[in-house]
Amino acid sequence: MQIKDLAATYNDFDKASAWHSNKGNEGIAADHNMTIYEAALAYGPTYAQVLTSNNYSLDNYDWFYALFTPLEDAVIPLGAEPHQPSPATQVLALLGWGQGENYKNLVSGLTGKYVGGVDRQGTGVLPRATRSFSEAQLALLAQAQQHKRRSPGASLAVASHFTLINYDEPIAYSAKPQNMRFVPPRGPGNPVVSAGFNRVNTGTCEINQARYFDTAVRARSATDSPTSPHVPADACVDWHFSGHSHRSGVYEVAWRQVSTPTSSRPTQPVRSIEVQSARDPGIQGPQPAAPREHTRFVVSSCGGPIGKQNLDHELDSWTLRPPSGTLLDPAERLIRQIKTLRSSRSAGRPLNEKPRLCVALDYLAVMSADPEKKIVPPLRFESVQLPASGGRVPIKLSPTVARLDCIASVRIWVFEGGEGRGGKALKIWHLVTPSFDSSDKGCAMKLSKADMEKLSRAVEAYSNPATRSNHGQGVEQAFFEVQLRAPKVRNEDWSTDMDCTDPWVFPLDIWAGNSDWGLRTWSFQRWHGERGEVPDWKFLEKYHKNGGYVSASEIIHTDEK
What is the per-residue DSSP string for 27-80?
HHHHHTT--HHHHHHHHGGGGG----S-S--GGGHHHHHHHT----SEEEEETP
pLDDT score of 453: 95
pLDDT score of 468: 41
Least confident of 319-323, 440-444, 524-528: 440-444
Query: Residue 316: in which H helix or E strand, if any?
Result: none
Amino acid symbol at 354: K
pLDDT score of 270: 73
The alpha-carbon radius of gyration of the chain (Å, integer) is 28
Asked if residue 76 lies in contact with residue 68, where contact means CB atoms within 8 angstroms, the answer is: no
Q: Which residues pair with 156 in a beta bridge?
A: 91
Query: Residue 450: in which H helix or E strand, if any?
Result: helix 449-463
Amino acid symbol at 395: I
DSSP 161-211: SS-SSB--TT----S-GGGGEE----TTS-HHHHS---TTB-S-B-SSHHH
Closest listed residue to residue 282, CA positions, set 305, 304, 302, 297: 302
Asked if residue 281 lies in contact with residue 248, where contact means CB atoms within 8 angstroms, the answer is: yes
Confidence of residue 118 (pLDDT cuts 50, 70, 90): very low
pLDDT score of 3: 44
Model confidence pLDDT, tens digit, residues 148-159: 999 988 999 999
| C-beta pairs of 82-88 under 8 Å, 24+ apart in sequence | 85/150, 87/150, 87/151, 87/152, 87/154, 88/147, 88/148, 88/151, 88/154
Closest listed residue to residue 195, CA positions, set 211, 183, 178: 183
Confidence of residue 113 (pLDDT cuts 50, 70, 90): very low
Least confident of 45-59, 346-360, 503-517: 45-59
Q: Quick one: 235 exposed, middle or buried, by C-beta within 10 A (0-12, 13-18, 19+)?
A: middle
Q: Give the mean pLDDT of 426-444.
A: 90
pLDDT score of 312: 78
What is the CA angle 412-44-362, rounded to 5? 45
Least confident of 26-30, 104-108, 446-450: 104-108
The β-bridge relationship of strands 296-299 and 239-242 is parallel
Return d(Cα 125, Cα 553) in angstroms, integer.
36
Q: Give the mean pLDDT of 515-520.
A: 79
Q: Beta strands of 284-381 (E only): which ranges?
A: 287-288, 296-299, 307-309, 319-321, 324-329, 334-339, 379-381
The β-bridge relationship of strands 249-260 and 319-321 is unpaired
DSSP secondary structure letter of residue 442: E
Highest mean pLDDT among 99-108, 111-120, 259-268, 475-484: 475-484
pLDDT score of 56: 57
Return d(Cα 340, Cα 307) in angstroms, integer.
11
pLDDT at 25 over 90: no
pLDDT score of 173: 58
Sign of CA dihedral 188, 193, 195, 200: positive
Least confident of 41-55, 108-122, 183-197, 392-406: 108-122
Q: Give the mean pLDDT of 175-186.
A: 79
Return d(Cα 469, Cα 416) in angstroms, integer.
13
Give the ranges where 368-412 is alpha helix by DSSP (H): 399-404
**Percent of the chain with pLDDT strictly greater than 90:** 40
> For the chain, what are the domain ranges?
60-355, 359-533
Confidence of residue 168 (pLDDT cuts 50, 70, 90): confident
pLDDT score of 415: 95
pLDDT score of 411: 97
Q: Give the mean pLDDT of 493-503.
A: 92
Asked if residue 510 lies in contact with residue 530, where contact means CB atoms within 8 angstroms, the answer is: no
Asked if residue 299 lies in contact with residue 249, where contact means CB atoms within 8 angstroms, the answer is: yes
Model confidence pLDDT, tens digit, residues 448-485: 999 999 999 999 888 765 544 444 588 999 999 999 99
Which is higher by pLDDT, 484 or 553? 484
Confidence of residue 106 (pLDDT cuts 50, 70, 90): low
**Percent of the chain with pLDDT strictly greater than 70:** 76
Which is higher by pLDDT, 354 or 175? 354
pLDDT score of 107: 43
Asked if residue 278 lies in contact with residue 199, where contact means CB atoms within 8 angstroms, the answer is: no
CA distances from 299 to 97, 199, 280, 479 (A): 16, 15, 9, 39
pLDDT at 435 over 90: yes
Number of other residues whose CB lies within 10 A of the CB of residue 422: 5
pLDDT at 509 over 90: yes
pLDDT score of 461: 86
Closest listed residue to residue 317, CA positions, set 398, 405, 407: 398
DSSP 146-171: HHHHTSTT-EEEEEESS-SSB--TT-
Sign of CA dihedral 475, 479, 483, 488: positive
pLDDT score of 470: 44
Asked if residue 288 lies in contact with residue 333, where contact means CB atoms within 8 angstroms, the answer is: yes
Return d(Cα 416, Cα 456) in angstroms, integer.
10
